[in-house]
Structure 1
Amino acid sequence: MAPVKLYIYDLSNGLARSLSQQLTGRQINGIWHTSIVVFGRETFYGQGISQTAPGRSHHGQPLQIVDLGETALDEETWEEYLQEMRSHYTADKYHLLDFNCNSFTNDCAGFLTGGSIPAFVRDLPTDFLSTPFGAALRPTIDAMYSRPSPGAPPIAPPTPNQPIASSLLQAVASQAQQPAAPAPTPTPLPATQSLAGPMHSTTNSASFRTLLQSHRAVVALFTDPAGCAPCRMIAPTFEQLAAEKGLRSSTGRGATFTKIDMRVGGGGALCQEWGITAFPTFIFFLNGKKTSELKGADAAELTTQVDLLLYEAYPPHTHTTLSLPAIKTLSLSPILFTQVPALDTVLTKLNSFIDAAPQSPHSAQAKQILAAQVVPYLKSRFVESKPTSATVPFLTAWGAVSITLVGVLPKESLFPLVDMWRLAVLDPATSAWLAATSNAGPVGAIAKLAQQTLSENTTDKGSRNFVLTALRLLTNAFSNSALSRVLLVDNAMATLVPALLHSDSAVRTAAASLAFNAAASVQRVRVATGAGLGGLPPQDKVDASEVASAADEDWQVELVSALTEAIKEESGDEVIHRLAAALACLLRYAPKDGQVWSLVEVLDVKAVVSAKKDVVQKKEVKALVGDAVRLVE
C-alpha cells in the first residue's frame, strides 16, 4: 500500500483572496492548482503530464496537502496508466476552467483510491462562473484557448473593462501551464478548435461513480472515436446538446454530459462494467440510477431522450395546469414612478431647507453641486431626453453631499432631495453605480431613515411626504436588477412591511407598487430559469445572485405575511389589485414543500383573498382576485 497525497497550490499567489470580493462579489480564497503525489513523485497536468520530485515543481511549496488515502496498485500499473493518459491530457486540450490540472488529479484520485479530490477544488470553476463577473469573463477565457475557424466572426472584446482582471487571468494561465522546468522563453498559450464547457471527461470507474453521485441528471456517451465512424458523426450533436441543455451554474438545473472513451485510461474497463457491446451507446441516469439506454447515432432520438430525462428530473409545477388568465396576462415589468417635477422649483425648495437648517460647513458645497451639476444632469436626461449618463466622479460627489444632507436636515425637509434620486435611479449608469457602492450609498441611507420614520408611526405631513417619496424611490430602484437585490432584503423589506398598513392611501399605493416589483422579480427569475416549470431552463441570462434572491424564502415569507394582512385591511380597488398581483407572483411556481406555502395554510390566505371578491368593483380587479383564490385552493 502506498500513500496518495494531493498537493494544492494557489495560482494567483494570494491575489484571488484579496481581489475576489471586489471583482466578483464573492470571496474566493485561491485559484487552485493540484497535483498527485504517489510513489515518491509529484505528477501534474499543464504542458501535458509532467513529473517532478515532491514540492520541486515551478509552483514551489504547496499551500495545503490533503491525504487521499492509500492505493493498492503498484508503481508499474500507475506508470502504465499515466502513459495511456498522455494521449488524452495533452497541452493543446488544456483549458483554465473546463479541462485543467484538477480534472487530471480527480481522474487520478479515482484510479488510485476510488475517491475524488475535495469539492472546494472541483467546484471552483462553477463558483467563479456563477458570479456576474465570472460569466462576463467566460468569453475572454475561452478566447485564450480557442482559435476561430476560417471565416468565423472575430471574438468580441471582454465585457468588463478591468485591466487588473486581465492581468490576473494571464498570470494564472501562465502559471498553470509552465512546464516542469522553467522554460528559457515564454511559451504561448496553446489553442484548441473546440472544447465544450458543460462536458465532463471520465476515464475510470471511480470518477464515474463520483459523477453519478454528485449530479441529478447524467447523460453518458460510451464511445470509440478512433475506430467508430458513427461515434465521430454523433459527437457534434452530443456536444451541442451539452451546450444547450447542460448543467447551468447559475440555476443548478440541466443535465451533466460525460464522455467515456474506451481507449483512454480505464475507459475500456468502464465500458465492460456497464455491459457496452456497441458504439456509440448512451446511458441516461437520474439520481444515480440508470433510467434508459440508446444505441447508435440517432440524433433525433438522442434529443428526445435528453428532454425526457430533464422532464423527469425537473417535473412541472402543478400550477402549470391551472387556468389563470388574469394572472397569466400580468406584466412582470416593474411599476415605475417616472413623472418629472419642475426641477427648478424642487431645487429652490431644497435650498430653502438647507438655508433654514443649522449651518454646516458643507452647505455651500451642497448647494453648488445641486445647482451646477445635479439639476442640469436631471434636466438633460429626463426633460430634454438627451442620452446623458452620470459619471462616477459626479455621482461620488453627489452621493457624499446627499448622505451629509440626510444626516443634518430634518426628515420633513428631505423629500426634494429624495425626489431627485427617484428620477436618477432610472438612469442605468446611476443605478449601476449605486449597486456597486457600499450599502447602496445615499439611497441606502434614505431607505434606513424611511424605515426609522415608519417605526415611529408619526402621521404629520412632513413625515408622510418623506416616506411617500422614499417608497417611490425604492420602487424605481427595481428598474435595475442589481440595485434592487442590494436594497431588497436589508432596506426595502424593512421599509415596505409597515408602509403597507400606513394610514395614508398614497403611501399604501406606493408600498403596494414596491411589493409588486419585489414579487415580480421572483416570478421573472422562475420563468427565465424554468424553476418549477419542468424541463430545461430557457436561454435567458440570469446571474446567480438573482437566482439566489428568488430562492431565498425568508424575505418572501415576511412579504406574504404582510401582503395577507394588508389585503385584509384594504378596501381600495387599485391597492388591492397591486397587492393581489404581488401575492400571486410570490405564490405561483413557489416550491410546494417550501416555507411560503406552509405560511399560506397557517394564515388561511384563501379566506382572506376570497373575502375581497365582493369588495372590489372593477372587472379586472375581480378577475385577478378570482385567479388568486384559485391559486391558493
Structure 2
Amino acid sequence: MSKVQLYVYDLSRGLAKQMSLMLTGKQIDGIWHTSVVAWGREVFYGQGILTSSPGATHHGPPLHVIDVGETHIDEETFDEYLSSLKEMYTPSKYHLIEFNCNHFTADVVGFLTGQEIPQWISGLPAEFLSTPFGQAMRPQIDAMFRQTAPSERPIPGPSPSQPGISPATASSTASASSTASASSSQPTPPASGSATPALASALLNSVAARAQAQAHGSSNGLPTPRSTPPNAETSPLSLVSSVTHFHSILRDHPAVIVNFTNTPTCPPCRTIKPVYETISSMHAATYGAKGARFVEVELSIGEGRELAQQYGVHATPTFIFFKNGKKAEEMKGASKKELENRVETFLEDVFPTHIHRKMFLPTIEKLPFNPITASGVPNYTALIGKLEGFLSGKGRDADVAFIKESIVPLLQDQSEVKVTDTELKEVLENWIKGTHSILENLKAEETFPIIDLWRVAILKPRISALIALRLRPNATSTSSSTTPTPISPDAITTILSLASNTLTASGSNTPKPFLLTVLRLITNLLASDELDNLILSQQGHVEIQEKVVGILVDSLLHPDQSVRSAAAGIAVNAGAWRQRNKKEELDDVNWEIELVSALVESIGKETDEDVSHRLLAALAMIIYLSPKYESDTQPLLEVLGAKEMLFGRARIYKKKEVKKLAEEIAGKLC
C-alpha cells in the first residue's frame, strides 16, 4: 500500500496566467506538467518514462500537490505495469499537445487508484488550441516535434543522464534509495516550471508576428483580407491503457471513437492503423474543439484486455462509437471506406453542422476580417499647442512638458527602440498619472488632444502590450517590499468613462472633436492584437466592454455622418474580431443582441451608402455562425422586421457590392 500524489508544475513560470487572456481571449492559469509520486519516488514521462526522488527534478518544488488516494497494488506489480508502458511512452512519441506527461499520469493514476487527474489539467490542450493564438502556434509546436532525434526535441523535463534521474524500469525499486541519495547532493532546484527554451522562442516569435500583423490593417473603408490561421486541433489520437482514464474520456467527451487493436499480432490492425490515424487527424481539426475524441486501445498494453472484455470485443480491429458516454454503434474489420463513412455519419449526428454552414453565402464568406485602424499621424506641434492653451494657468506645466519631452518622441518612433522595457513601463506609468491630472482640469470638449495621443499610442505594440497587462482582470502591482496590491486606475477606463458620462448628459450635443477622437481611440483598441480579446471576450474587462458597447450604440444613430462612419468602423472591428476568433461557430458574447438590435435600426435609417456598407458588413460578421442564432438572434431579427427592411434598402443601393450584401443577409440570415 502507498499514498499516491499528483505533482503539478507550471512550465510557463507564471507567464500563462499573466498573458493568456491578452493573447487567447481565455484565462489559462498555467502550462501544466505533472508526475505521479508513490513509494517515495516521482515517476513522469518526458525522455521516456523516468523516475527521481520527489521534487528533485529540474522543475524544482511542485506548484500544487494533489492527493489522489491510496493504492492497494504492490510496488512490484506497479513496476511491471510501467515496464508494459515503456514501448508506448517513448521519447520519439512525445508531443507537447498530442501525447505528453499528462496523458501518462492519467493512465498511471487510473491504474493505481481508479481516480482521474483534474479536468483543468487534462483539458488544457483542447482549451488552448480552441483559440486563434493556439491555432497559430500549432504548426510551430508540430515542427518542434517532427525533429528526428528525440534529444533535440523541446521535451519538458530532465534526461535520463541527469544526476538523480533514472529510467523507470523493473529495477527502479532497487535503485530508489540510491536515486534519492544522488539527488540529495544536487544544488537546490530552480523555481517550479523551468520553461523549455525552444517553446519559449516559438511563443515569442508568435507574439511578434501578431504585433507585426497590425501593420496590414487599413486606415479607412472595410478591412483588407488576410490569411486565415490553421484550424484548431485537440489531440488527434490518444493511446489509453487505463480503465479509469478511458472512462474519464467517455464522461468528458460527447463523441468518442475507439479502435481496439492488437498491432503486434494482427495484420489487419496494422493495415487500418495508419488509416485511422489519418481520419482522426482530419476530423479533429473540425470536431476536436467541440469535444470529439479519437482513442486507441492496444490489447497488449496496460489494462487493454480488460477494456476489451468490458465492451465485448472478441476480435481486432473493432471500432466502437460512444455518444454521451454510451455505446452507439460498432464496426468490425479493416474496411477503409466503411470506416470513413461511419466516422463522418457519427460525428454529424453528435455535432449537427451550424445552419449557416449549409447555406451558400458567397458574399458574406468573402468578407475580410482584418480590423480597421485610425492610423492618421497628428500634427504634434499643433496638438501640444492646443493642450497648452487649454491648461494655461492651471498648474499642469510639468505634465505638458513631460508629454513634449518623453511621449511625443516615443510616438514619433524617435526613442522607442532605445527605451528598455523597464524604462518604457516607468514612462507609461508617469503618463497615466499625468493623464488623470490633466483630465481633472479640463472640460470634456478640451480633452481631445490628450485622447488623440493615446489613440496613436495604442498602435505601438510595446505600449499596447503594457496597457493590456494593466487591464487584465484582477491585475496587481508588486514590488520587492510589498505584497500584491491593486494597480492604479488606467487612462483608457478613465477616458471611456468620461465619454460615456458626457454622451449620457449631452447626447447629440456632445462636442464633435471630442466624440470623434474617442471613437477613433476605440477603433484602435479593437484593432490591437494585445487588447481586442481583453475588451470583447466573455472573460474580458467588463467595465471597458460595457463602456465601449454603450458609446458605440449611442454613436450609430448620431446626426453627424462622420460620427456614424467612425462608429460603423468600430462595429466592423467587433464583427471581424468574432470571425477571427471563431472555430466551427462563434464564441458566445454578452453584447451580441444589443449590438445586432442597434445595427438593424442604424441600417434602416442610414442615408450614406458607404456607412451602410460598413454597417451591413458588421451585422453579417456578428451573426454569421452565432451560437445564439436559432435561439435568440434570428427571433430578434424577425421581431425587428429586418428581412423586409434589408430587402427594401437593397433596392435603393447603387453600389453592386452593397446591394448583394444586403440581399444575402436578408434572404439567408434573416
Interval containing the TM-score (normalised by the shorter chain): 0.7 to 0.9
Partner of 1:539: none
RMSD: 4.8
Q: 1:398 to 1:203 in 2, by over 3 A?
A: closer
Match of 2:557 in 1: 501
Residue of structure 2 aligned with 1:447, choices 473, 484, 496: 496
Q: Contact conserved, 2:9 with 2:32, CA < 8 A, in 1?
A: yes
* 1:33 Cα offset (Å): 3.4
The 1:514/1:105 distance shift into structure 2, 3 A limit, reads: closer
CA distance, structure 1, for counterparts of residue 612 and residue 146 of structure 2 = 58
Stretch of structure 1 that moved more, 576-585 or 319-328: 319-328
5+ residue gaps in structure 1? 159-165, 190-195, 382-387, 532-549
Q: In structure 2, which of residues 561, 581, 585 is the aligned counterpart of residue 525 of structure 1?
A: 581
1:566 is matched by which residue type in structure 2? S
| Separation in structure 1 between the aligned mates of residue 344 and residue 514 of structure 2, nearest angstrom | 53
Match of 1:315 in 2: 352
Change (3 A) 1:348 1:292: farther
8 Å contact from structure 2 (residues 250, 324) kept in 1: yes
Q: Which residue of 2 aligns with 1:534?
A: none
Per-residue deviation, residues 504-541 of structure 1 (Å, max 9, x unmatched): 22212211221122122213333xx232xxxxxxxxxx
Q: Which amino acid aligns with 2:497?
A: K
1:48 is paired with a residue of what secondary structure?
strand
Task: Determine the structure 2 residue equivalent to 1:21.
Answer: 17
Compute the displacement of 1:414 (Å): 2.8
Corresponding residue to 1:397 among 420, 427, 439: 427
Distance 1:330 1:62 in 2: 46
* SS of residue paired to 2:265: coil
Partner of 1:563: 599
- Structure 1, residues 66-124: CA drift from partner, whole Å, max 9, x if none? 465887x8999777655644554567766676555643453345456655333234334
Work out which of the residue numbers 509, 512, 525 in structure 2 matches 1:477. Answer: 525
Distance 2:31 2:373 in 1: 42
1:148 aligns with 2:144: no
Q: CA deviation at 1:446?
A: 3.0
Distance of aligned partners of 1:400 and 1:135 in 2 relative to their CA distance in 1, 3 Å threshold? farther
Paired amino acid for 2:514: F
Contact 2:461 2:530 in 1 (8 A): no
**When the two structures are aligned, how many residues end up with a matched partner?**
573
Identity of aligned residues (%): 32
Please name the residue that 2:477 is paired with.
none
Q: Quote how far apart the aligned CAs of 1:421 are.
A: 4.0
Give the letter for the 1:465 counterpart.
Answer: P
Alpha-carbon distance change, 409 to 302 in structure 1, aligned in 2, over 3 angstroms? farther
Aligned counterparts of 2:398 and 2:353: Cα–Cα separation in 1: 62
Give the one of 187, 192, 215 matched to 2:253.
Answer: 215
The one-letter code sitting in structure 2 at the alignment partner of 1:122 is S
Paired residue for 1:599? 636
SS in structure 2 opposite 1:219? strand
Given the superposition, is the C-alpha separation of residues 296 and 436 from structure 1 closer, same or farther in structure 2, using an over 3 Å criterion? same
Structure 1 residue matching 2:398: 3-state secondary structure: coil
Amino acid at match of 1:576: S
SS across alignment from 1:264? coil
Amino acid in structure 2 at the alignment position of 1:435: A
Q: 1:320 to 1:56 in 2, by over 3 A?
A: closer
Using the alignment, how far apart are the partners of 1:519 and 1:558 within structure 2?
Answer: 13
Q: Which residue identity lines up with residue 211 of structure 1 in the other structure?
A: I
CA contact (8 A) 1:8 1:32 kept: no
Question: Any stretches of 5+ residues in structure 2 without a counterpart?
Answer: 22-26, 168-175, 190-194, 196-233, 473-488, 537-544
Alignment of 1:35-46 (within 5 A): 35=36, 44-46=43-45
Q: Secondary structure at the match of 1:456?
A: helix
Please give the alpha-carbon distance, in whole angstroms, between the structure 2 residues aligned to 1:119 and 1:630. Answer: 43
CA distance in 2, matches of 1:23, 1:524: 19
1:384: which partner in 2? Answer: none
Q: Is the 8 A contact 1:9 1:64 kept in 2?
A: yes
C-alpha distance in structure 1 between counterparts of 2:391 and 2:504, whole Å? 25
Report the CA distance between 1:22 and its aligned residue.
2.0
Distance 2:126 2:651 in 1: 52
Alignment of 1:171-320 (within 5 A): 180=176, 181-182=179-180, 184=182, 197-229=235-267, 231-232=269-270, 234-246=272-284, 252-253=289-290, 255-276=292-313, 278-288=315-325, 289-293=327-331, 295-296=333-334, 298=336, 302=339, 305-320=342-357
Aligned mates of 2:506, 2:381 — CA distance in 1 = 32
**Partner residue of 2:171?**
none
Whether the 8 Å CA contact 1:45–1:89 is kept in 2: the answer is: no
Looking at structure 2, the residues matched to 283 and 176 of structure 1 have their Cα atoms a distance apart, in angstroms, of 43
Q: Secondary structure at the match of 1:225?
A: coil
CA distance in 2, matches of 1:235, 1:414: 67
Report the equivalent of 1:552.
588
Tell me how far apart the structure 1 counterparts of residues 470 and 236 of structure 2 sit (CA, whole Å).
34
* Counterpart for residue 334 of structure 1: 371
Query: Residue deviations 1:553-594, cap 9 Å, x none?
Result: 311122123223334444443333322332222222223444
Give the partner amino acid of 1:464.
K
In structure 2, the partner of 1:627 is 664
Deviation readout 1:355-403 (Å, 9 max, x if unpaired): 46543432322222355443x438x99xxxxxx8997545762674363
Q: Deviations over 1:31-80 (max 9, x none)?
A: 4635376xx8878445737699xx89989999655465887x89997776
* Offset, 1:425: 3.7
Structure 1 pair 175/286, CA: closer, same or farther in 2 (3 Å)? farther
Q: TM-score, normalised by structure 2?
A: 0.69
Equivalent-residue separation in structure 1 for 2:358 and 2:388 (angstroms): 58
- TM-score w.r.t. length of structure 1: 0.73
